[in-house]
Amino acid sequence: MSEKKAKVIYSRDYAIAAVDERIYGSFIEHLGRAVYGGIFQPGHPQADEDGFRRDTLRLVKDLRVPVIRWPGGNFVSNYFWEDGVGPPEQRPRRLELAWRSMEPNLVGIDEFARWCKKAGAEVMMAVNLGTRGVSDALNLLEYCNHPGGSKYSDLRIFHGKKEPYSIKTWCLGNEMDGGWQIGHKNAEEYGRLACQTARAMKMYDPGLELVACGSSSAGMRSFPAWEATVLEHAYDCVDYVSLHQYYGKRGEDTANFLAKTMDMEHFIKTVASTCDYVKAKQRSKKTMMLSFDEWNVWYHSNQADDDTMKNRPWQFAPALLEDHYTFEDALLVGLMLITLLKHADRVRMACLAQLVNVIAPIMTEPDGAAWAQPTYYPFLHVSNYGRGVALRPVLSCEKHDTRDYTDVSDLETVAVYDEEGEALTVFAVNRDLKEGADFTCDIRGFEGFRLLEHMEMVSEDLTARNSAKARNVMPSRAKPGELRQGLYRCRLAKASWNVIRFGKTSVSSRA
Ligand code: AHR
């Protein structure tokens, strides 16, 4: 056993909130090979009767993603949804400006909704508030959700889709604070437009859940004034404000990279405080919830993407944003998931951006198989075992400083208690890169619980990657510790992702 000690207490009394399963959402944009060659590839040996890749679908289903944001992203800000409905052979090809690609519109609303159904997910639809506005959002809503007897619902029926798609969650544009966004707006302009669009959409159905664009990252100069101004206009009309954040490792060491969840934590707290400031100012009774609808690691592909976008002719489904993730990226993804769970009281939706081929946990070979990146596994574990009530860790462990962060805890952890299944799952990352830790997990409040399994993901090589041929980074069974009188004592390996499951029954492993 190593010298270093860490201890955490978990009790039902320290509940953060019931986890909204929609925090395990994801995102598919018409970008690179996410749609074409990712989820949809007629002619591929794995293609089903609708042209969807079965191998991709299998990996997606295992992740149990409840909601998938679509069709963008930057793409949505100049998207004409009408291009993607009706007979596929009659659909136009468009110059897609956001990612400088050729868009054939072979996957539109109907195809995507069908794919989501197969994946067991709901569509989270984004509307174009870049080059379009209120009336187009309303037309799209009518096409998607109205049963029939009106212009757009009848058009859908004419296209052979009798049943409406009944889409509940809608994003009011994408990253409208960003200068790169087609139809970018200032906070006043966007706040007014978001509110007008939301009001009109709720005239049709007050039960819709609407997400206003927050900042594109905590690093935006306009953050958090953007949120304050947008919400001054839209507080009453919307239900969520979005957060987007990607982290990269640029000229820094691993310790600094793995400390970036301190920034994420600060981001979430600041957005929540800004919402509460507007709530107080407007004497509102409503508490605004957060939708962290783009989050991930993203940096490996940056240079190649620049080159493809600047120096190549318009291409159909070019390989863009294809980050090949490492083991240390998977540790940060695990840390980001822990951070989301620690804020389950305010973060009610979140989307791992993205799902297939584009900064994604799942990759596909054009003529070969689909495979899982190292980042796939922490998501798989948390999505499968992180349903229930998130419990606040009462943690004591050592801390360290990195280039940009001070007092970084060596260990990060959170637990989720599933009352129905009588199970408690502890997620933990040891971000100490040199030493393992003697870990004591106090679960004395969970009488009769025993250890079901302790999984870990470790690697001597922080830069280890997977490929279609090599699964170098995979979870495995850890050497189990001992559970005595409610105290579980084990070793957490240096630089490790851990999933420790306790329960009354011997439920078999889902993930
Ligand atoms: O997910 C990739 C891109 O990142 C999205 O299109 C955009 O919203 C964000 O900047």
Give the H/E segment covering residue 452: strand 450-457
Contact 373, 362 (CB under 8 A): yes
The pLDDT, as a whole number, for residue 510 is: 59
Nearest CA to ligand 1 atom 5: 73
The pLDDT, as a whole number, for residue 36 is: 98
Q: What is the pLDDT along the chain (511 residues), one digit of tens a residue?
A: 447 999 999 999 999 999 999 999 999 999 999 999 999 999 999 999 999 999 999 999 999 999 999 999 999 999 999 999 999 999 999 999 999 999 999 999 999 999 999 999 999 999 999 999 999 999 999 999 999 999 999 999 999 999 999 999 999 999 999 999 999 999 999 999 999 999 999 999 999 999 999 999 999 999 999 999 999 999 999 999 999 999 999 999 999 999 999 999 999 999 999 999 999 999 999 999 999 999 999 999 999 998 888 888 899 999 999 999 999 999 999 999 999 999 999 999 999 999 999 999 999 999 999 999 999 999 999 999 999 999 999 999 999 999 999 999 999 999 999 999 999 999 999 999 999 999 999 999 999 999 999 999 999 999 999 999 999 999 999 999 999 999 999 999 999 999 999 999 765 555 6
Contact 129, 77 (CB under 8 A): yes
Residue type, position 293, single letter: D
Residue type, position 429, single letter: V
**Would you say the CB of residue 475 lies under 6 angstroms from ligand 1?**
no
**Would you say the CB of residue 130 lies under 6 angstroms from ligand 1?**
no
Output the six-digit token pair for 192.
């007014």
Distance of CA 207 to the CA centre of its chain: 23
Q: Which atom of ligand 1 is nearest to the CA of 99?
A: 6
Contact 349, 339 (CB under 8 A): no
What is the reported pTM? 0.97
Backbone angles phi, psi at 24, to 5 degrees: -100, 30
Distance CA 37, CA 26 (A): 18
Contact 199, 192 (CB under 8 A): no
The pLDDT, as a whole number, for residue 301 is: 93
Residue type, position 21, single letter: E
Enzyme catalytic residues: 175, 294
Residues 6 or more apart in contact with residue 126 via CB below 8 angstroms: 69, 70, 71, 72, 73, 76, 170, 171, 173, 174
Beta bridge partners, 27, equal 69, 353
Mutual angle of helices 261-281 and 327-342, in 10-degree steps: 30
The pLDDT, as a whole number, for residue 511 is: 60
Distance 169 CA to ligand 1 centre (A): 19
Q: Which atom of ligand 1 is nearest to the CA of 174?
A: 8
The pLDDT, as a whole number, for residue 312 is: 85
Residues 6 or more apart in contact with residue 461 via CB below 8 angstroms: 327, 472
**Would you say the CB of residue 318 lies under 6 angstroms from ligand 1?**
no
Residue type, position 218, single letter: A
The pLDDT, as a whole number, for residue 310 is: 87
At CA 279, angle to CA 274 and CA 281, rounded to 5?
95
**Would you say the CB of residue 175 lies under 6 angstroms from ligand 1?**
yes
Q: Which atom of ligand 1 is nearest to the CA of 75?
A: 6
Contact 211, 162 (CB under 8 A): no
**Would you say the CB of residue 354 lies under 6 angstroms from ligand 1?**
yes
**Residue in 174, 291, 295, 301 to alter for ligand 1 test, most ligand atoms within 8 A of Cβ:** 174
Q: Which of 351, 316, 322, 236 is nearest to 284 (CA)?
A: 236
Q: Which of 49, 72, 71, 164 is nearest to 118 (CA)?
A: 49
* Helix (H), strand (E), coil (C) string for 234-255: HCCCCCEEEEEEEECCCCCCHH
**Would you say the CB of residue 74 lies under 6 angstroms from ligand 1?**
yes
**Would you say the CB of residue 214 lies under 6 angstroms from ligand 1?**
no
**Would you say the CB of residue 173 lies under 6 angstroms from ligand 1?**
no
Distance 116 CA to ligand 1 centre (A): 20
The pLDDT, as a whole number, for residue 509 is: 58
Contact 446, 505 (CB under 8 A): no
Nearest CA to ligand 1 atom 9: 73
Distance CA 85, CA 421 (A): 43
Output the six-digit token pair for 477.
């069974």
Distance 318 CA to ligand 1 centre (A): 16
Contact 400, 250 (CB under 8 A): no
Backbone angles phi, psi at 10, to 5 degrees: -120, 130
148: left (phi over 0), alpha (psi -120 to 50) or beta: left
Nearest CA to ligand 1 atom 7: 73
The pLDDT, as a whole number, for residue 508 is: 56
Contact 47, 328 (CB under 8 A): no
Residues 6 or more apart in contact with residue 88 via CB below 8 angstroms: 105, 106
Output the six-digit token pair for 58.
């299998």
Distance 391 CA to ligand 1 centre (A): 31
**Would you say the CB of residue 78 lies under 6 angstroms from ligand 1?**
no
**Would you say the CB of residue 72 lies under 6 angstroms from ligand 1?**
yes
How long is the chain? 511
Contact 27, 362 (CB under 8 A): no
Output the six-digit token pair for 189.
């302009």
**Residue in 244, 296, 354, 358 to alter for ligand 1 test, most ligand atoms within 8 A of Cβ:** 244
Distance 73 CA to ligand 1 centre (A): 5
Distance CA 84, CA 326 (A): 36
